[in-house]
Amino acid sequence: MNNVSLTGRLTREPELRYGGQDNSTAITRFTLAVDDGKDTDFINIKCFGRTAEWAQKWLSKGSRAEVTGKIKTGSYESQRTGSKVYYTEVVANSVGFGESKAEAEARGQQLPESDGFMNIPEGADEEPPFN
């Protein structure tokens, strides 16, 4: 089974492009610095669709992220040198925040306002919201 789970910090701003047959598929790439206590590995991450759009909107250089996905390897012919270039990357199926809102704000980064709960207006607890 090809399954990977990583937590680390972005080394650069996520880069969003559109591709596919009709250039309608969102593709975001970024690099994640993953520290295991001894060494730091720099892992290239690629995500598609809504995950790609979310990552580009809410993540930035230095933010901590959690990624799950699969490892993909491949190769291509370099246009500059004409030699074969091999690569390894993680194709993410899930990307999320790897730190709390308070931790991110302490570093000066702004996270989304929503904490997953609906905002209840003042005085709403006085009447039921249905008849």
Distance CA 36, CA 9 (A): 12
Helix (H, G, I), strand (E, B), or coil: what is residue 52? helix
Average pLDDT of the residues in 78-99: 92
The domain over range 4-99 is classified in CATH as 3.40.50.970: no
User: Mind listing the pLDDT tens digit for each residue in 3-45?
Assistant: 999 999 999 999 999 998 888 899 999 999 999 889 999 999 9
Residue 108: the pLDDT is 62
